[in-house]
Structure 1
Amino acid sequence: MLAHLIANAAAVFDKLVVVIGPEMADVAELAAPHTVVVQHERLGTAHAALQAEAYFGEGDVAVLYADNPLISEQTLSRLLAERRSPGVGLALLAMRPQDPGRYGRVLTEGSNVTRIVEWADATPAERAIDLCNAGVLCADAPTFRHWLHNVKNDNTKGEYYLTDVVDLAVADGVNVRAVEAAEDELRGINSRAELAQAEAALQQHLRAQAMANGVTLVAPETVFFCADTVLEADVLVEPHVVFGPSVTVRSGAEIKAFSHLEGCTVQTDAIIGPYARLRPGTQVGAKARIGNFVEVKNTTLGDGAKANHLTYLGDATVGAGTNVGAGSITCNYDGVFKHRTTIGEHVFVGSNTIMVAPVNIGGNALVAAGSVITKDVPAEALAFGRPRQTNMPERGKLLKESLKARKDNG
């Protein structure tokens, strides 16, 4: 959630300061390279904002919440623009949710906000108001400092609430304005159920954005994206495809149903799936083909290379125009170290071939089906890595009869 908010806020504001609690090194690492300060005593939201006071500077300051991760760059820009409008001293974000529930209500007179009242303190008439507080405030730094230092903790929890800044601004005769945005952007996340709702809203946005950019989604509601997924125009995505982090798919590629991609790049006019898995470090060349039940990890496939059925390619380089037959695998792990398999261009690897890395197969070579390849194969060679077949007349029938008799006798 923090990463989403940082990405959008960094596009609008010159400096970001992330306030965290104690012993949150993992969050601090995620926030890097932005400034991180620690709120050692959790005394409320206004107190948290004050921990970053030394970094306010003299410009405008906005206070955001990491449990509101989907606030867009456009909405933050509107917030900042409203604050800088003539005569506006404080701007805040507000929404009109379908179910206002227990959100704090934003009270207004004309275009100005007069008060934020918490649901527990609101009268029936105030609870009927559908304009709700999203918690985000923006003001110029000197004035914001003044208000934060004057927030009191005379409430049941003994905490310093950021929302009290609105009352202080109104008391000072400052014009306070609300900038409205969609509920999907401003919804807070305080439970697993609310996290799922936010994820659904994000996925709907990402799907719409992909289609607006020229991507064909056959069944949009079944496709799942990451925020950093890059699909160029004229990519076709069939139903039930999942894009994990760091995926780029170039124009004209086709991702067939039930495929899972992460940490990979798929070049122009390649075809992936159905039921394919591309793992991190995979590079698929133009017009290459990864077929059904094929898993590829940390592997580069050259242009036009094919692995069409039931294959695992890990830590490998596969040359252009090479065909890897069904049931073939690269044995890349010896229990301690990973090793690499290199297959040249225009190689034919027969079905059910096991390539024990480290091993190299030269260009234009042919590997017989059922081979176990433990040594390098020279270019243009024909490699057999299997024992000679022996046929024993009638022994099959006798063995079956013997096994059946053993089964019948218990």
Structure 2
Amino acid sequence: MSAMAEDSSPLAPLAVVVLAAGKGTRMKSNLHKVLHPIAGRPMLEHLMASAAELSPQRQVVVAGHGLEQLERALGESVTFAVQEPQLGTGHAVQQAQGALQGFDGDVLILYGDVPFVRTETMRAMIERLHAEDSPAVVVLGFEPEDPLQYGRVLAHDDGRIAMMVEYKDATDEQRACRLCNSGLMAVRSADLFDLLSRVGNDNAQGEYYLVDIVNVATLEGRTCAVITTDDPDEVGGINSRGELAEAEARWQARRRKDAMADGVTLTAPETVFFAWDTQLGRDVTIEPNVVFGPGVMVADDVTIRAFSHLEGATLESGVEIGPYARLRPGAVLKTGSKVGNFVEMKKAVLGEGAKANHLSYLGDAEIGAGANIGAGTITCNYDGYFKHKTVIGERAFIGSNSALVAPLQIGADAIVAAGSAVTRNVAPGELRLVRGEQLVKPGWADRFHDTMKKKKAEQKK
């Protein structure tokens, strides 16, 4: 990126204004466009997290349609301004004037549907604003492979802007320029609303364009400047389900590369999907078709076998899960523990070296170190109204196809025989066998088969 500065704090107090008033009709969704998730996180929150690293004093989201959804998602962390009706980007920024009353500093203008602007890029814009030529406005430009219908930035070789023009108002000569306007700007608060007050709507759309603050300042003889991102994807907007999927694919591709660079083995990288906050240690092996939801922490030397799904889970070192394991929020696997195929865990702790190898459900449970959970075992944690806990002691052995009806405690070294439905606590070292008495009738099956064969033969006559 040109004009990129070293990491440093902003030179003046900072306010962030995020435009999110569009109706997002191309999404064809009842969910606000900027709340659609990428890597398990609403796109707007990706953007706000990057901006938060600059420690802004004020954050303003300009909303219109779907204001209530945005308020629920962001709570009191931001101030909301309402744009109604929507008369263009310049008009949208004007709606933040009340929220910025009394603020004296820099204003960074971002877009809620452009979620992956890097903190470094934001910082570079602000620092360019404080360069020796003291530009009135700094614009973030980019050069895509296909300029399409983006607005153009007509600039001198030193980055000073001669003129900005929207595509619909541009001449053929101006459209030949490849430097495009991302829409992102940095402006001093002392200049912003004064410049906006002089923007008109005499254009093809009849709207108040934010870019015209550059033209107003330039006509007054003031300098405006552009810096250019070296990654056009950074400023890619998301307006449809197709673009959302493309953004997800780009994000995942970068995350997979980062994971492998950090010492993770992905045997089929393109089939693994991470969440925005997935944490992975070294020498982790992830087989094909694994999906991470939010809140997963994986320590060193863990193996995650194919077709597993993890969310809100913690895996300590040496753990092995899957294939076809499902770990839900609150699942904790201690060092060296293992869950196998078709095992589901939710709000449960599997102790050091403990195993649940097949076809089990462990919910609201605490399983001690070295315990063995047999195939088909379930913790019956819900009575229709409340959840209850099952505690299994160290080295306990739970036989296959057992139902453990919570609340329940099973002591250390206890054995629960296969096929048992356990409703009362089991003492340490005790054997618990809960089955109906086995009935034996020698020859009964032979006589039954003979009788039924005769009946079937008679029906055919």
TM over 0.5: yes
Once the two structures are superposed, residues 105-129 of structure 1 have per-residue CA deviations (whole angstroms, 9 ceiling, x without a partner) of: 2221222222222222223333232
CA RMSD, Structure 1 to Structure 2 (Å): 2.0
- Summarize the Cα distance change of 1:267–1:97 in structure 2 as closer, same or farther, 3 Å threshold: same
Shift of 1:35: 2.3
- Summarize the Cα distance change of 1:40–1:397 in structure 2 as closer, same or farther, 3 Å threshold: farther
Q: Report the Cα distance in structure 1 between the residues aligned to 2:309 and 2:300, rounded to whole angstroms.
A: 18
- Summarize the Cα distance change of 1:119–1:40 in structure 2 as closer, same or farther, 3 Å threshold: closer
Aligned match of 1:20 in 30, 54, 63? 63
CA contact (8 A) 1:18 1:34 kept: no
Letter of the structure 2 residue corresponding to residue 4 of structure 1: H
Q: Report the Cα distance in structure 2 between the residues aligned to 1:162 and 1:258, rounded to whole angstroms.
A: 48
Give the 5 Å matches for 1:192-271. Answer: 192-271=241-320
Between 1:152-161 and 1:44-53, the stretch displaced more is 152-161
Once the two structures are superposed, residues 343-386 of structure 1 have per-residue CA deviations (whole angstroms, 9 ceiling, x without a partner) of: 11111111111111111111110111111111111111011011
CA contact (8 A) 1:28 1:36 kept: no
- Summarize the Cα distance change of 1:237–1:403 in structure 2 as closer, same or farther, 3 Å threshold: farther
Aligned match of 1:30 in 62, 73, 83? 73
Aligned match of 1:104 in 135, 151, 169? 151
Q: In the alignment, does 2:423 pair up with 1:370? A: no
Shift of 1:270: 0.8
- Summarize the Cα distance change of 1:396–1:163 in structure 2 as closer, same or farther, 3 Å threshold: farther
Q: Report the Cα distance in structure 2 between the residues aligned to 1:407 and 1:172, rounded to whole angstroms.
A: 103
Q: Report the Cα distance in structure 2 between the residues aligned to 1:405 and 1:216, rounded to whole angstroms.
A: 64
Between 1:30-39 and 1:399-408, the stretch displaced more is 399-408
Q: In the alignment, does 2:373 pair up with 1:324? A: yes
Letter of the structure 1 residue corresponding to residue 93 of structure 2: A
Aligned match of 2:428 in 367, 370, 379? 379
Aligned match of 2:216 in 136, 144, 168? 168
Letter of the structure 2 residue corresponding to residue 217 of structure 1: L
Q: Report the Cα distance in structure 2 between the residues aligned to 1:242 and 1:271, rounded to whole angstroms.
A: 15
CA contact (8 A) 1:90 1:174 kept: no
Partner of 1:126: 174
- Summarize the Cα distance change of 1:401–1:358 in structure 2 as closer, same or farther, 3 Å threshold: farther
Whose relative contact order is higher, 1 or 2, with alpha carbons under 8 Å and at least 6 apart? 2
Partner of 2:107: 61
Once the two structures are superposed, residues 16-40 of structure 1 have per-residue CA deviations (whole angstroms, 9 ceiling, x without a partner) of: 2222226522211322342222314
Give the 5 Å matches for 1:17-96. Answer: 17-21=60-64, 24-41=67-84, 42-56=86-100, 57-87=103-133, 88-96=135-143
CA contact (8 A) 1:18 1:31 kept: no
CA contact (8 A) 1:71 1:186 kept: yes
Q: Report the Cα distance in structure 1 between the residues aligned to 2:241 and 2:411, rounded to whole angstroms.
A: 53
Partner of 1:300: 349
Shift of 1:55: 4.2
Shift of 1:13: 4.2
Q: Report the Cα distance in structure 2 between the residues aligned to 1:242 and 1:375, rounded to whole angstroms.
A: 38
Partner of 1:339: 388
Partner of 2:226: 178
TM-score (norm 2): 0.84
Q: Report the Cα distance in structure 2 between the residues aligned to 1:127 and 1:156, rounded to whole angstroms.
A: 15
Q: Report the Cα distance in structure 2 between the residues aligned to 1:391 and 1:117, rounded to whole angstroms.
A: 91
Q: Report the Cα distance in structure 2 between the residues aligned to 1:248 and 1:402, rounded to whole angstroms.
A: 62
- The share of aligned pairs that are identical, in percent, is 46
Q: Report the Cα distance in structure 1 between the residues aligned to 2:67 and 2:445, rounded to whole angstroms.
A: 67
CA contact (8 A) 2:169 2:204 kept: no
Between 1:25-34 and 1:305-314, the stretch displaced more is 25-34
1:78 counterpart SS class: helix
Letter of the structure 2 residue corresponding to residue 65 of structure 1: Y
CA contact (8 A) 2:81 2:99 kept: no
Once the two structures are superposed, residues 146-203 of structure 1 have per-residue CA deviations (whole angstroms, 9 ceiling, x without a partner) of: 1122222334544322121221122222322222221221100111111111111111
Once the two structures are superposed, residues 76-98 of structure 1 have per-residue CA deviations (whole angstroms, 9 ceiling, x without a partner) of: 12222222222133211122222
Q: Report the Cα distance in structure 2 between the residues aligned to 1:179 and 1:405, rounded to whole angstroms.
A: 93
TM-score (norm 1): 0.94
Letter of the structure 2 residue corresponding to residue 97 of structure 1: P
CA contact (8 A) 2:344 2:360 kept: yes
Partner of 1:9: 51
Partner of 2:31: none
Q: Which runs of 5+ in 2 are unaligned?
A: 1-42
Q: Which runs of 5+ in 1 are unaligned?
A: none
- Paired positions, count: 410
